[in-house]
Amino acid sequence: MLVAERNSPPSTSTALDLAWVRSQFPALAQTVNGQPAVFLDGPGGTQVPHRVIHAIADYLARNNANTGGAYSTSRNTDRMIADARAAMGDFLNCDADEIVFGPNMTTLTYAISRARGRELGRGDEIVLTLLDHDANFSPWKALEEKGVVIRTAKFHEADCTLDMQDLASKIGKRTKLVAVGYASNAVGTINNVAEVVRLARQAGALSYIDAVHYAPHGTIDVRALDCDFLVCSTYKFFGPHLGVLYGKREHLKRLRPYKVRPNTDNIPNCWEWGTLNHECIAGIKACVDYWEELGRRANPAVNTRRAAILAAHEAIHRHERTMIEKMIAGLLAIPGLKLYGIGDPQRFKNRCATFVVRIEGNTPLELATKLGERGFFTWDGNYYALNLTEQLDVERLGGFLRIGLVHYNTMEEVERLLGALREIVG
Protein backbone atom coordinates (compact mmCIF):
# COMPACT_ATOMS: atom_id res chain seq x y z
CA MET A 1 0.00 0.00 0.00
CA LEU A 2 2.62 2.45 1.09
CA VAL A 3 4.91 1.40 -1.72
CA ALA A 4 2.08 1.72 -4.24
CA GLU A 5 1.25 5.20 -3.01
CA ARG A 6 4.90 6.18 -3.05
CA ASN A 7 5.44 4.82 -6.54
CA SER A 8 2.35 6.46 -8.02
CA PRO A 9 3.17 9.34 -10.42
CA PRO A 10 3.69 12.45 -8.30
CA SER A 11 3.71 14.98 -11.18
CA THR A 12 1.01 17.43 -10.07
CA SER A 13 2.49 18.10 -6.65
CA THR A 14 5.24 20.63 -6.02
CA ALA A 15 8.23 20.31 -3.74
CA LEU A 16 7.87 20.98 -0.05
CA ASP A 17 7.79 24.72 0.68
CA LEU A 18 10.41 24.47 3.40
CA ALA A 19 10.49 28.20 4.19
CA TRP A 20 6.74 28.11 4.83
CA VAL A 21 7.06 24.86 6.82
CA ARG A 22 9.74 26.26 9.11
CA SER A 23 7.84 29.51 9.64
CA GLN A 24 5.00 27.43 11.11
CA PHE A 25 7.12 26.02 13.97
CA PRO A 26 8.11 28.70 16.48
CA ALA A 27 10.48 26.37 18.38
CA LEU A 28 12.78 26.09 15.36
CA ALA A 29 13.95 29.68 15.82
CA GLN A 30 15.71 28.92 19.12
CA THR A 31 19.47 29.10 19.65
CA VAL A 32 21.87 27.23 21.96
CA ASN A 33 25.18 28.83 22.94
CA GLY A 34 24.75 31.25 20.06
CA GLN A 35 24.17 28.45 17.53
CA PRO A 36 20.83 27.78 15.83
CA ALA A 37 19.08 24.84 17.48
CA VAL A 38 18.86 21.80 15.21
CA PHE A 39 16.00 19.50 16.18
CA LEU A 40 17.10 15.94 15.42
CA ASP A 41 14.97 14.52 18.22
CA GLY A 42 11.78 13.99 16.21
CA PRO A 43 11.63 10.24 17.04
CA GLY A 44 11.33 11.26 20.71
CA GLY A 45 8.75 13.95 19.92
CA THR A 46 8.34 16.61 17.23
CA GLN A 47 7.79 20.35 17.49
CA VAL A 48 4.33 21.81 16.91
CA PRO A 49 3.09 24.51 14.53
CA HIS A 50 1.62 27.80 15.79
CA ARG A 51 -1.92 26.66 15.10
CA VAL A 52 -1.61 23.71 17.52
CA ILE A 53 -0.40 26.02 20.28
CA HIS A 54 -3.20 28.49 19.55
CA ALA A 55 -5.87 25.78 19.45
CA ILE A 56 -4.82 24.49 22.87
CA ALA A 57 -4.75 27.99 24.39
CA ASP A 58 -7.98 29.00 22.70
CA TYR A 59 -9.82 25.94 24.00
CA LEU A 60 -8.70 26.69 27.55
CA ALA A 61 -9.60 30.37 27.20
CA ARG A 62 -13.04 29.93 25.67
CA ASN A 63 -14.45 26.43 25.87
CA ASN A 64 -12.92 24.73 28.90
CA ALA A 65 -15.62 22.32 30.14
CA ASN A 66 -16.43 18.70 30.68
CA THR A 67 -18.42 16.78 28.08
CA GLY A 68 -22.13 16.06 27.92
CA GLY A 69 -23.41 19.17 29.70
CA ALA A 70 -26.51 21.15 28.69
CA TYR A 71 -24.67 24.44 28.18
CA SER A 72 -22.61 26.14 25.50
CA THR A 73 -18.98 25.42 26.45
CA SER A 74 -19.77 21.77 27.10
CA ARG A 75 -21.60 21.46 23.79
CA ASN A 76 -18.68 23.18 22.06
CA THR A 77 -16.36 20.64 23.70
CA ASP A 78 -18.48 17.73 22.42
CA ARG A 79 -18.42 19.23 18.93
CA MET A 80 -14.70 19.87 19.04
CA ILE A 81 -13.96 16.25 20.07
CA ALA A 82 -16.19 14.95 17.27
CA ASP A 83 -14.32 17.16 14.76
CA ALA A 84 -10.95 15.91 16.02
CA ARG A 85 -12.13 12.32 15.71
CA ALA A 86 -13.24 12.89 12.14
CA ALA A 87 -9.90 14.54 11.35
CA MET A 88 -7.97 11.56 12.72
CA GLY A 89 -10.31 9.29 10.77
CA ASP A 90 -9.12 11.05 7.60
CA PHE A 91 -5.51 10.81 8.75
CA LEU A 92 -5.75 7.03 9.15
CA ASN A 93 -8.55 6.43 6.60
CA CYS A 94 -11.25 5.07 8.88
CA ASP A 95 -14.56 6.22 10.39
CA ALA A 96 -14.66 8.61 13.32
CA ASP A 97 -16.23 6.03 15.66
CA GLU A 98 -13.21 3.77 15.15
CA ILE A 99 -10.90 6.41 16.67
CA VAL A 100 -10.09 6.21 20.39
CA PHE A 101 -8.19 8.98 22.18
CA GLY A 102 -5.93 8.23 25.14
CA PRO A 103 -2.95 9.62 27.05
CA ASN A 104 -0.36 7.91 24.84
CA MET A 105 0.28 4.77 22.79
CA THR A 106 1.53 2.75 25.77
CA THR A 107 -1.62 3.28 27.84
CA LEU A 108 -3.89 2.50 24.89
CA THR A 109 -1.95 -0.68 24.17
CA TYR A 110 -2.30 -1.85 27.77
CA ALA A 111 -6.05 -1.18 27.49
CA ILE A 112 -6.33 -3.42 24.43
CA SER A 113 -3.95 -6.10 25.75
CA ARG A 114 -5.98 -6.38 28.97
CA ALA A 115 -9.25 -6.58 27.04
CA ARG A 116 -7.91 -9.13 24.55
CA GLY A 117 -6.36 -11.01 27.48
CA ARG A 118 -9.83 -11.51 28.98
CA GLU A 119 -10.59 -13.81 26.04
CA LEU A 120 -7.31 -15.75 26.11
CA GLY A 121 -5.97 -18.57 28.24
CA ARG A 122 -3.46 -21.38 28.56
CA GLY A 123 -1.99 -22.48 25.24
CA ASP A 124 -3.08 -19.43 23.25
CA GLU A 125 -0.18 -17.70 21.53
CA ILE A 126 0.83 -14.12 20.73
CA VAL A 127 3.59 -13.30 18.24
CA LEU A 128 5.82 -10.27 18.88
CA THR A 129 9.05 -9.01 17.29
CA LEU A 130 12.46 -8.19 18.71
CA LEU A 131 12.60 -5.07 16.53
CA ASP A 132 9.70 -3.41 18.31
CA HIS A 133 9.56 -0.63 20.88
CA ASP A 134 8.84 -2.12 24.30
CA ALA A 135 5.38 -0.52 24.30
CA ASN A 136 4.36 -3.10 21.68
CA PHE A 137 6.04 -5.90 23.61
CA SER A 138 5.57 -5.71 27.40
CA PRO A 139 1.78 -5.09 27.33
CA TRP A 140 1.39 -8.39 25.44
CA LYS A 141 4.06 -10.25 27.40
CA ALA A 142 2.10 -9.44 30.58
CA LEU A 143 -0.47 -11.99 29.36
CA GLU A 144 1.97 -14.78 30.23
CA GLU A 145 0.34 -14.48 33.67
CA LYS A 146 -2.74 -16.07 32.07
CA GLY A 147 -0.77 -18.91 30.50
CA VAL A 148 -0.55 -17.22 27.09
CA VAL A 149 2.60 -18.25 25.21
CA ILE A 150 4.67 -15.40 23.75
CA ARG A 151 6.62 -16.19 20.59
CA THR A 152 9.16 -13.68 19.30
CA ALA A 153 10.25 -13.10 15.71
CA LYS A 154 13.92 -12.31 15.09
CA PHE A 155 15.53 -9.64 12.94
CA HIS A 156 18.55 -9.85 10.64
CA GLU A 157 21.44 -8.31 12.55
CA ALA A 158 23.30 -7.22 9.39
CA ASP A 159 20.66 -4.67 8.31
CA CYS A 160 18.17 -4.71 11.20
CA THR A 161 15.25 -5.86 9.05
CA LEU A 162 12.58 -8.21 10.29
CA ASP A 163 13.19 -11.90 9.56
CA MET A 164 9.90 -12.50 7.77
CA GLN A 165 10.55 -16.20 7.40
CA ASP A 166 11.05 -16.54 11.13
CA LEU A 167 7.94 -14.46 11.77
CA ALA A 168 5.85 -16.60 9.40
CA SER A 169 7.12 -19.75 11.10
CA LYS A 170 6.01 -18.46 14.52
CA ILE A 171 2.42 -17.83 13.38
CA GLY A 172 0.23 -20.92 13.63
CA LYS A 173 -3.23 -22.13 14.51
CA ARG A 174 -2.83 -21.21 18.18
CA THR A 175 -1.85 -17.62 17.36
CA LYS A 176 -4.44 -15.16 18.63
CA LEU A 177 -2.66 -11.89 17.91
CA VAL A 178 0.38 -10.62 16.04
CA ALA A 179 1.84 -7.28 17.18
CA VAL A 180 4.33 -5.51 14.94
CA GLY A 181 5.79 -2.05 14.48
CA TYR A 182 5.26 -0.17 11.21
CA ALA A 183 8.75 1.35 11.52
CA SER A 184 11.53 0.98 14.08
CA ASN A 185 12.05 4.04 16.29
CA ALA A 186 15.72 3.07 16.59
CA VAL A 187 17.13 1.76 13.31
CA GLY A 188 14.42 3.26 11.08
CA THR A 189 13.47 0.03 9.28
CA ILE A 190 10.01 0.10 7.68
CA ASN A 191 8.41 -3.31 8.06
CA ASN A 192 6.20 -5.04 5.51
CA VAL A 193 3.17 -4.71 7.75
CA ALA A 194 0.72 -5.53 4.96
CA GLU A 195 2.32 -8.98 4.75
CA VAL A 196 2.29 -9.39 8.54
CA VAL A 197 -1.43 -8.50 8.59
CA ARG A 198 -2.05 -11.04 5.83
CA LEU A 199 -0.17 -13.79 7.70
CA ALA A 200 -2.09 -13.01 10.89
CA ARG A 201 -5.45 -13.04 9.12
CA GLN A 202 -4.64 -16.32 7.35
CA ALA A 203 -4.08 -17.89 10.78
CA GLY A 204 -7.27 -16.37 12.21
CA ALA A 205 -5.28 -14.04 14.49
CA LEU A 206 -5.75 -10.32 15.09
CA SER A 207 -3.10 -7.80 13.98
CA TYR A 208 -1.94 -4.89 16.14
CA ILE A 209 0.24 -2.28 14.42
CA ASP A 210 2.40 0.24 16.25
CA ALA A 211 2.59 3.14 13.80
CA VAL A 212 4.05 5.62 16.30
CA HIS A 213 7.37 5.97 14.53
CA TYR A 214 6.01 5.68 11.02
CA ALA A 215 3.27 8.33 11.22
CA PRO A 216 5.41 11.45 10.53
CA HIS A 217 7.11 9.74 7.57
CA GLY A 218 4.54 7.76 5.57
CA THR A 219 0.89 7.45 4.65
CA ILE A 220 -1.24 5.24 6.86
CA ASP A 221 -4.31 3.57 5.39
CA VAL A 222 -5.93 1.17 7.84
CA ARG A 223 -8.59 0.17 5.31
CA ALA A 224 -6.04 -0.84 2.68
CA LEU A 225 -3.92 -2.59 5.32
CA ASP A 226 -7.01 -4.29 6.72
CA CYS A 227 -5.36 -4.41 10.15
CA ASP A 228 -7.47 -4.96 13.27
CA PHE A 229 -5.81 -2.27 15.38
CA LEU A 230 -3.31 0.49 14.72
CA VAL A 231 -1.95 2.93 17.24
CA CYS A 232 0.01 6.16 17.00
CA SER A 233 0.93 9.20 19.09
CA THR A 234 0.18 12.71 17.86
CA TYR A 235 3.25 14.19 19.55
CA LYS A 236 5.39 12.32 17.00
CA PHE A 237 3.66 13.96 14.05
CA PHE A 238 3.52 17.63 15.01
CA GLY A 239 0.61 17.46 17.44
CA PRO A 240 0.19 17.45 21.23
CA HIS A 241 1.13 14.71 23.72
CA LEU A 242 -1.71 12.22 23.18
CA GLY A 243 -2.23 8.73 21.78
CA VAL A 244 -4.71 7.62 19.11
CA LEU A 245 -5.97 4.10 18.56
CA TYR A 246 -7.76 2.82 15.48
CA GLY A 247 -9.80 -0.31 16.18
CA LYS A 248 -12.04 -2.09 13.69
CA ARG A 249 -15.60 -1.36 14.75
CA GLU A 250 -16.44 -5.04 15.25
CA HIS A 251 -13.55 -5.46 17.74
CA LEU A 252 -14.22 -2.23 19.61
CA LYS A 253 -17.82 -3.42 20.03
CA ARG A 254 -17.08 -7.03 20.94
CA LEU A 255 -14.10 -6.69 23.30
CA ARG A 256 -14.94 -5.76 26.88
CA PRO A 257 -13.03 -2.74 28.19
CA TYR A 258 -12.23 -2.35 31.90
CA LYS A 259 -14.26 0.74 32.72
CA VAL A 260 -16.45 2.41 35.34
CA ARG A 261 -20.21 1.69 35.29
CA PRO A 262 -21.55 5.16 34.45
CA ASN A 263 -19.31 5.31 31.38
CA THR A 264 -21.21 4.54 28.20
CA ASP A 265 -21.18 1.14 26.48
CA ASN A 266 -21.09 2.88 23.11
CA ILE A 267 -17.94 2.93 21.01
CA PRO A 268 -15.53 4.62 20.89
CA ASN A 269 -16.20 6.39 24.23
CA CYS A 270 -16.36 3.14 26.21
CA TRP A 271 -12.60 2.87 25.58
CA GLU A 272 -11.92 6.39 26.86
CA TRP A 273 -11.72 6.39 30.62
CA GLY A 274 -12.14 9.36 32.89
CA THR A 275 -11.93 12.89 31.56
CA LEU A 276 -9.77 13.26 28.49
CA ASN A 277 -7.21 15.97 27.80
CA HIS A 278 -9.65 18.18 25.90
CA GLU A 279 -7.20 20.98 25.19
CA CYS A 280 -4.82 18.57 23.52
CA ILE A 281 -7.64 17.02 21.52
CA ALA A 282 -8.29 20.56 20.22
CA GLY A 283 -4.59 20.52 19.29
CA ILE A 284 -5.04 17.26 17.34
CA LYS A 285 -7.62 18.86 15.07
CA ALA A 286 -5.22 21.75 14.47
CA CYS A 287 -2.43 19.27 13.78
CA VAL A 288 -4.47 17.57 11.05
CA ASP A 289 -5.34 21.06 9.70
CA TYR A 290 -1.59 21.63 9.39
CA TRP A 291 -1.18 18.40 7.40
CA GLU A 292 -4.07 19.45 5.21
CA GLU A 293 -2.62 22.87 4.46
CA LEU A 294 0.78 21.35 3.75
CA GLY A 295 -0.85 19.00 1.23
CA ARG A 296 -2.96 21.70 -0.42
CA ARG A 297 0.16 23.81 -0.88
CA ALA A 298 1.99 20.83 -2.39
CA ASN A 299 -0.90 20.01 -4.70
CA PRO A 300 -3.59 22.71 -5.02
CA ALA A 301 -5.70 20.31 -7.13
CA VAL A 302 -6.60 18.02 -4.22
CA ASN A 303 -10.26 18.24 -3.21
CA THR A 304 -10.60 16.31 0.05
CA ARG A 305 -8.81 16.39 3.40
CA ARG A 306 -7.62 12.82 2.92
CA ALA A 307 -6.22 13.65 -0.54
CA ALA A 308 -4.43 16.67 0.94
CA ILE A 309 -2.87 14.47 3.66
CA LEU A 310 -1.63 12.08 0.95
CA ALA A 311 -0.19 15.00 -1.02
CA ALA A 312 1.59 16.23 2.11
CA HIS A 313 3.13 12.81 2.59
CA GLU A 314 4.26 12.69 -1.01
CA ALA A 315 6.09 16.02 -0.69
CA ILE A 316 7.53 15.01 2.68
CA HIS A 317 8.70 11.69 1.33
CA ARG A 318 10.70 13.29 -1.49
CA HIS A 319 12.35 15.79 0.85
CA GLU A 320 13.19 13.14 3.45
CA ARG A 321 14.57 10.81 0.78
CA THR A 322 17.09 13.45 -0.34
CA MET A 323 18.15 14.02 3.26
CA ILE A 324 18.50 10.24 3.83
CA GLU A 325 20.86 9.98 0.86
CA LYS A 326 23.06 12.82 2.07
CA MET A 327 23.03 11.71 5.70
CA ILE A 328 23.98 8.10 5.05
CA ALA A 329 26.73 8.94 2.56
CA GLY A 330 28.14 11.46 5.07
CA LEU A 331 27.87 9.16 8.09
CA LEU A 332 29.57 6.25 6.33
CA ALA A 333 32.53 8.51 5.46
CA ILE A 334 33.26 9.23 9.15
CA PRO A 335 36.19 7.12 10.39
CA GLY A 336 35.26 4.58 13.09
CA LEU A 337 31.50 5.05 12.62
CA LYS A 338 29.17 2.06 12.45
CA LEU A 339 25.66 2.56 11.13
CA TYR A 340 23.02 0.05 12.27
CA GLY A 341 20.17 -0.56 9.83
CA ILE A 342 19.73 -0.23 6.08
CA GLY A 343 22.66 1.60 4.46
CA ASP A 344 22.25 0.46 0.86
CA PRO A 345 20.71 3.24 -1.30
CA GLN A 346 18.89 0.60 -3.37
CA ARG A 347 16.82 -0.23 -0.29
CA PHE A 348 16.12 3.24 1.07
CA LYS A 349 12.39 2.77 0.42
CA ASN A 350 12.49 0.32 3.34
CA ARG A 351 13.84 2.83 5.82
CA CYS A 352 12.86 6.20 7.20
CA ALA A 353 15.06 9.14 8.12
CA THR A 354 16.05 7.79 11.54
CA PHE A 355 19.66 6.74 12.01
CA VAL A 356 21.53 5.06 14.84
CA VAL A 357 25.30 4.90 14.99
CA ARG A 358 28.18 4.13 17.30
CA ILE A 359 31.58 5.77 16.88
CA GLU A 360 34.77 4.20 18.20
CA GLY A 361 36.25 6.02 21.18
CA ASN A 362 33.03 7.88 22.11
CA THR A 363 30.04 6.67 24.06
CA PRO A 364 26.63 7.64 22.67
CA LEU A 365 26.09 9.86 25.72
CA GLU A 366 29.40 11.67 25.11
CA LEU A 367 28.44 12.24 21.48
CA ALA A 368 24.95 13.46 22.33
CA THR A 369 26.36 15.80 24.99
CA LYS A 370 28.99 17.30 22.68
CA LEU A 371 26.40 17.71 19.95
CA GLY A 372 23.96 19.21 22.45
CA GLU A 373 26.52 21.88 23.39
CA ARG A 374 26.72 22.80 19.70
CA GLY A 375 22.93 23.07 19.41
CA PHE A 376 22.17 19.64 17.89
CA PHE A 377 19.42 17.75 19.73
CA THR A 378 20.01 14.00 19.41
CA TRP A 379 19.37 11.02 21.67
CA ASP A 380 21.51 8.33 23.22
CA GLY A 381 20.51 5.00 24.76
CA ASN A 382 17.92 2.42 23.76
CA TYR A 383 14.75 4.57 23.32
CA TYR A 384 12.88 1.60 24.81
CA ALA A 385 13.81 -0.61 21.83
CA LEU A 386 15.31 -2.81 24.50
CA ASN A 387 15.21 -6.18 22.74
CA LEU A 388 17.12 -4.63 19.83
CA THR A 389 19.93 -3.11 21.91
CA GLU A 390 20.24 -6.31 23.95
CA GLN A 391 20.38 -8.53 20.88
CA LEU A 392 23.00 -6.28 19.23
CA ASP A 393 24.93 -6.27 22.52
CA VAL A 394 25.07 -2.48 22.75
CA GLU A 395 22.82 -2.15 25.79
CA ARG A 396 25.79 -2.49 28.16
CA LEU A 397 27.70 0.08 26.04
CA GLY A 398 25.18 2.90 26.28
CA GLY A 399 23.13 1.94 23.22
CA PHE A 400 23.41 4.12 20.12
CA LEU A 401 23.46 7.77 19.15
CA ARG A 402 20.15 8.45 17.36
CA ILE A 403 19.71 11.19 14.77
CA GLY A 404 16.14 11.67 13.60
CA LEU A 405 15.06 13.84 10.69
CA VAL A 406 11.53 14.98 9.94
CA HIS A 407 10.20 17.24 7.19
CA TYR A 408 11.09 20.51 8.93
CA ASN A 409 14.79 19.61 8.89
CA THR A 410 16.96 20.92 6.05
CA MET A 411 19.84 19.72 3.90
CA GLU A 412 21.92 22.47 5.47
CA GLU A 413 21.22 21.05 8.93
CA VAL A 414 22.30 17.61 7.71
CA GLU A 415 25.57 19.09 6.41
CA ARG A 416 26.16 20.96 9.66
CA LEU A 417 25.49 17.84 11.75
CA LEU A 418 27.95 15.84 9.66
CA GLY A 419 30.54 18.62 10.05
CA ALA A 420 30.03 18.68 13.82
CA LEU A 421 30.41 14.90 14.07
CA ARG A 422 33.61 15.00 12.01
CA GLU A 423 34.97 17.72 14.28
CA ILE A 424 34.03 15.79 17.46
CA VAL A 425 35.65 12.53 16.39
CA GLY A 426 38.70 14.50 15.25
Ligand X SMILES: Cc1ncc(COP(=O)(O)O)c(C=O)c1O
What are the residues binding ligand X (CB under 6 A)? 104-106, 133, 135-136, 181, 185, 210, 212-213, 233, 243
Assess contact for 319 and 20: CB atoms under 8 A: no
Local structure of residue 234 (DSSP, 8 states) = G
Which of 243, 283 has the CB closer to ligand X? 243
For residue 415, how far is the Cα from the chain centroid?
A: 26
Closer to ligand X by CB, 24 or 106: give it.
106
The Cα 281–Cα 398 span in angstroms is 36
Query: What minimum distance in Å lies between the beta carbon of 282 and ligand X?
Result: 19
Contact partners, residue 207, CB within 8 Å, separation at least 6: 177, 178, 179, 180, 193, 196, 197, 200, 201, 227, 228, 229
The residue (of 220 and 421) whose beta carbon lies closer to ligand X is: 220
Residue 371 phi, psi dihedral angles, 5° rounding: -65, -40
**Minimum distance from residue 116 beta carbon to ligand X (Å):** 18
Give the CA distances from residue 11 to residues 7, 8, 314, 383, in Å, rounded to whole numbers and listed in that order.
11, 9, 10, 38
- Which of 379/408 has CB closer to ligand X? 379
Work out how close the CB of 374 gets to ligand X at its nearest, in angstroms, rounded to a whole number: 24
| Shortest separation between residue 105's beta carbon and ligand X, angstroms | 3
For ligand X, the closer of residues 337 and 356 by Cβ is 356
Q: Quick one: 13 or 161, whose CB is closer to ligand X? A: 161
Q: How far is the CB of 371 from ligand X (least distance, A)?
A: 20
Closest C-alpha among 151, 153, 141 to residue 117: 141
Q: For residue 34, is it left (φ>0), alpha (ψ between -120 and 50) or beta?
A: left
Could you tell me the smallest distance in angstroms from the CB atom of residue 397 to ligand X?
Answer: 21
Residue closer to ligand X, measured from CB, 143 or 211: 211
The residues that bridge with 360 in the sheet, in sequence order, are none
Minimum distance between the CB of residue 233 and ligand X, rounded to whole angstroms? 3
Report, in Å, the least distance between residue 273 CB and ligand X: 16
Write the CA distances from 257 to 104, 220, 243, 262, 267, integer angstroms: 17, 26, 17, 13, 10
Task: Pick between residue 311 and residue 385 the one whose CB is nearest to ligand X.
Answer: 385
Tell me the CB-side half-sphere exposure of residue 408, using CA atoms within 13 A.
27
Among 90, 99, 96, residue whose Cα is nearest residue 302? 90
Between CA 357 and CA 293 the distance in angstroms is 35
Question: Please, which residues bridge with residue 206 across strands?
Answer: 177
